[in-house]
């Protein structure tokens, strides 16, 4: 499992999201504190990320590297 997949899994757990949510953006903390801002969205019926059905949050990721 690569870092993106681990971040997606951790983000779903921390933000209490189901499998229908997909990670589409990550901003890793450069200060060394091990936080990442993650952005999730659901896909519409055509497989395109929906801008109206999205969420974001911060998760710890230092142990996922």
Number of folded domains in the chain?
1
Summarised one tens digit per residue, pLDDT across range 4-50 is 999 999 999 999 999 999 999 999 886 678 889 999 999 888 888 88
| 3-state helix, strand and coil shares in percent for the chain, rounded to the nearest 5 | 25, 45, 30
What's the pLDDT score for residue 52?
81
Question: In which domain, by residue range, is 14 found?
Answer: 3-64
Q: Tell me if 41 sits within 8 A of 22, measured CB to CB.
A: yes
30 DSSP assignment: S
What's the pLDDT score for residue 37?
92
Note the pTM of the prediction, 2 decimals.
0.83
Tell which wins on pLDDT, 31 or 58.
58
What's the pLDDT score for residue 19?
93
């Amino acid at each position: 499992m690569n870092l993106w997949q681990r971040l997606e899994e951790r983000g779903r757990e921390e933000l209490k999201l189901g499998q229908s949510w997909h990670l589409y953006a990550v901003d890793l903390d450069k200060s060394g504190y091990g936080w990442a801002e993650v952005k999730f969205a659901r896909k519409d019926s055509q497989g395109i990320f929906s801008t109206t059905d999205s969420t974001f949050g911060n998760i710890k990721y230092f142990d996922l590297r």
